[in-house]
Amino acid sequence: MRAAALLRGPVCSGVGGRPFNGIVSWPNVETTITPDSVKGIMVTLDVDDRRVLFIVLTDDGLVNRQGTGTLGNLDNDLFIGLSDEPIFEQLRAQIQPEWMQRLGAYGTRSKAGSTCTLSILFKAEEGREGGIRFVYGSESEGPPGDIAQFVTEAVRLTDPWHEKQRQTRLKASVGR
Protein backbone atom coordinates (compact mmCIF):
# COMPACT_ATOMS: atom_id res chain seq x y z
CA MET A 1 0.00 0.00 0.00
CA ARG A 2 1.52 3.34 -1.09
CA ALA A 3 1.13 6.59 0.79
CA ALA A 4 -1.83 7.48 -1.39
CA ALA A 5 -3.80 4.58 0.08
CA LEU A 6 -3.73 6.23 3.50
CA LEU A 7 -4.76 9.50 1.90
CA ARG A 8 -7.82 8.09 0.15
CA GLY A 9 -11.43 8.29 1.07
CA PRO A 10 -14.15 10.74 0.25
CA VAL A 11 -12.24 13.84 -0.70
CA CYS A 12 -13.25 17.03 1.00
CA SER A 13 -12.16 20.42 -0.17
CA GLY A 14 -11.04 21.57 3.30
CA VAL A 15 -8.12 23.82 2.61
CA GLY A 16 -9.36 24.99 -0.75
CA GLY A 17 -13.02 25.40 0.20
CA ARG A 18 -15.30 24.10 2.92
CA PRO A 19 -13.80 23.20 6.32
CA PHE A 20 -12.35 19.74 6.90
CA ASN A 21 -15.07 19.00 9.50
CA GLY A 22 -13.82 21.70 11.81
CA ILE A 23 -10.56 23.42 12.61
CA VAL A 24 -8.51 22.85 15.70
CA SER A 25 -6.03 25.55 16.68
CA TRP A 26 -2.35 25.07 15.91
CA PRO A 27 -0.17 27.55 17.82
CA ASN A 28 2.38 29.84 16.20
CA VAL A 29 0.75 29.79 12.79
CA GLU A 30 2.39 32.33 10.50
CA THR A 31 0.10 33.65 7.78
CA THR A 32 2.53 35.84 5.83
CA ILE A 33 4.20 32.91 4.09
CA THR A 34 3.93 32.70 0.33
CA PRO A 35 4.85 29.67 -1.78
CA ASP A 36 7.82 31.58 -3.24
CA SER A 37 9.15 32.39 0.25
CA VAL A 38 9.22 28.73 1.33
CA LYS A 39 12.79 27.52 1.95
CA GLY A 40 11.96 24.17 3.55
CA ILE A 41 9.15 21.62 3.54
CA MET A 42 8.52 18.85 6.06
CA VAL A 43 5.90 16.14 5.54
CA THR A 44 5.05 13.60 8.24
CA LEU A 45 2.42 10.89 8.34
CA ASP A 46 1.75 9.00 11.56
CA VAL A 47 -0.62 6.06 11.87
CA ASP A 48 -1.73 5.27 15.42
CA ASP A 49 1.20 7.37 16.71
CA ARG A 50 3.70 5.40 14.61
CA ARG A 51 5.67 7.40 12.04
CA VAL A 52 5.26 5.86 8.58
CA LEU A 53 6.60 8.78 6.54
CA PHE A 54 9.05 11.59 7.21
CA ILE A 55 10.33 13.85 4.44
CA VAL A 56 12.33 17.08 4.70
CA LEU A 57 13.39 19.05 1.65
CA THR A 58 15.22 22.38 1.65
CA ASP A 59 16.22 24.85 -1.01
CA ASP A 60 19.93 24.00 -0.55
CA GLY A 61 19.38 20.39 -1.69
CA LEU A 62 19.00 18.73 1.72
CA VAL A 63 16.86 15.59 1.65
CA ASN A 64 15.72 13.59 4.68
CA ARG A 65 13.50 10.59 4.16
CA GLN A 66 12.21 7.84 6.40
CA GLY A 67 9.46 5.39 5.56
CA THR A 68 7.20 4.71 2.66
CA GLY A 69 3.94 6.17 3.90
CA THR A 70 2.28 2.78 3.94
CA LEU A 71 0.23 1.23 6.71
CA GLY A 72 2.59 -1.77 6.99
CA ASN A 73 5.75 0.35 6.65
CA LEU A 74 8.81 -1.59 7.81
CA ASP A 75 11.31 0.98 6.52
CA ASN A 76 12.47 2.72 9.68
CA ASP A 77 15.88 3.85 8.46
CA LEU A 78 16.33 7.60 8.25
CA PHE A 79 18.43 8.73 5.30
CA ILE A 80 19.94 12.22 5.30
CA GLY A 81 21.87 13.66 2.41
CA LEU A 82 22.02 16.09 -0.47
CA SER A 83 20.61 15.90 -3.96
CA ASP A 84 21.63 17.71 -7.11
CA GLU A 85 18.17 17.07 -8.53
CA PRO A 86 15.62 19.91 -8.24
CA ILE A 87 13.40 17.88 -5.89
CA PHE A 88 12.66 20.79 -3.58
CA GLU A 89 11.85 23.19 -6.41
CA GLN A 90 9.52 20.65 -8.04
CA LEU A 91 7.63 20.07 -4.80
CA ARG A 92 7.51 23.78 -3.88
CA ALA A 93 5.89 24.44 -7.27
CA GLN A 94 2.97 22.26 -6.12
CA ILE A 95 2.18 24.47 -3.08
CA GLN A 96 -1.16 26.19 -3.55
CA PRO A 97 -1.21 29.88 -2.44
CA GLU A 98 -4.62 29.43 -0.79
CA TRP A 99 -3.11 26.89 1.64
CA MET A 100 -1.23 29.75 3.27
CA GLN A 101 -4.53 31.42 4.14
CA ARG A 102 -5.80 28.27 5.89
CA LEU A 103 -2.85 27.14 7.97
CA GLY A 104 -3.92 25.19 11.03
CA ALA A 105 -5.06 21.79 12.22
CA TYR A 106 -8.16 20.06 10.93
CA GLY A 107 -9.91 16.94 12.16
CA THR A 108 -12.81 14.78 11.10
CA ARG A 109 -15.75 14.31 13.44
CA SER A 110 -15.92 10.57 12.82
CA LYS A 111 -12.86 8.42 12.30
CA ALA A 112 -12.99 4.80 11.12
CA GLY A 113 -9.89 2.63 11.15
CA SER A 114 -6.45 3.65 12.35
CA THR A 115 -5.89 7.27 13.37
CA CYS A 116 -3.79 9.05 10.74
CA THR A 117 -2.08 12.39 11.38
CA LEU A 118 -0.73 14.12 8.31
CA SER A 119 1.37 17.25 8.87
CA ILE A 120 2.96 19.57 6.33
CA LEU A 121 5.22 22.31 7.67
CA PHE A 122 6.49 25.20 5.56
CA LYS A 123 9.59 27.06 6.69
CA ALA A 124 10.18 30.45 5.11
CA GLU A 125 12.75 33.19 5.32
CA GLU A 126 13.71 34.67 8.68
CA GLY A 127 12.44 31.66 10.60
CA ARG A 128 8.79 32.17 9.70
CA GLU A 129 6.87 28.90 9.58
CA GLY A 130 3.37 27.54 9.39
CA GLY A 131 1.70 24.30 8.62
CA ILE A 132 -1.34 22.25 7.92
CA ARG A 133 -2.32 19.18 9.93
CA PHE A 134 -5.11 16.69 9.26
CA VAL A 135 -6.29 14.02 11.68
CA TYR A 136 -8.54 11.38 10.14
CA GLY A 137 -9.25 7.65 10.06
CA SER A 138 -7.57 5.32 7.58
CA GLU A 139 -11.03 4.07 6.57
CA SER A 140 -12.80 7.43 6.60
CA GLU A 141 -12.60 10.84 4.99
CA GLY A 142 -9.00 11.80 4.25
CA PRO A 143 -7.39 15.17 3.60
CA PRO A 144 -8.44 17.32 0.65
CA GLY A 145 -7.45 16.02 -2.77
CA ASP A 146 -4.88 18.73 -3.44
CA ILE A 147 -3.15 18.01 -0.13
CA ALA A 148 -3.18 14.25 -0.78
CA GLN A 149 -1.68 14.87 -4.22
CA PHE A 150 1.05 17.06 -2.69
CA VAL A 151 2.06 14.29 -0.26
CA THR A 152 1.95 11.68 -3.02
CA GLU A 153 4.17 13.93 -5.12
CA ALA A 154 6.63 14.36 -2.22
CA VAL A 155 6.93 10.57 -2.02
CA ARG A 156 7.25 10.19 -5.79
CA LEU A 157 9.92 12.89 -6.09
CA THR A 158 12.02 11.47 -3.26
CA ASP A 159 11.57 7.78 -4.18
CA PRO A 160 14.60 7.57 -6.55
CA TRP A 161 16.86 9.31 -4.01
CA HIS A 162 15.50 7.14 -1.17
CA GLU A 163 15.98 3.91 -3.13
CA LYS A 164 19.55 4.90 -4.02
CA GLN A 165 20.31 5.50 -0.32
CA ARG A 166 18.74 2.13 0.60
CA GLN A 167 20.79 0.32 -2.05
CA THR A 168 24.00 2.04 -0.92
CA ARG A 169 23.36 0.98 2.67
CA LEU A 170 22.52 -2.57 1.55
CA LYS A 171 25.75 -2.85 -0.47
CA ALA A 172 27.76 -1.51 2.46
CA SER A 173 26.22 -4.04 4.87
CA VAL A 174 26.79 -6.95 2.46
CA GLY A 175 30.42 -5.90 2.02
CA ARG A 176 31.16 -6.21 5.73
The pLDDT confidence band at residue 172, using thresholds 50, 70 and 90, is confident
C-alpha 80/C-alpha 72 separation (Å) is 22
Calculate the CA dihedral of residues 46, 38, 64, 168 and round it to 10 degrees. Answer: 140
What's 126's domain CATH number?
A: 3.30.1560
pLDDT in tens, 125-155: 888 899 999 999 998 888 999 999 999 999 9
Total number of domains constituting the chain:
1
Q: Which domain holds residue 145?
A: 3-174
Given the DSSP bridges, would you call strands 23-24 and 38-47 parallel, antiparallel or unpaired?
Answer: unpaired
**pLDDT 10s digits, 78-97:** 999 999 999 999 999 999 99
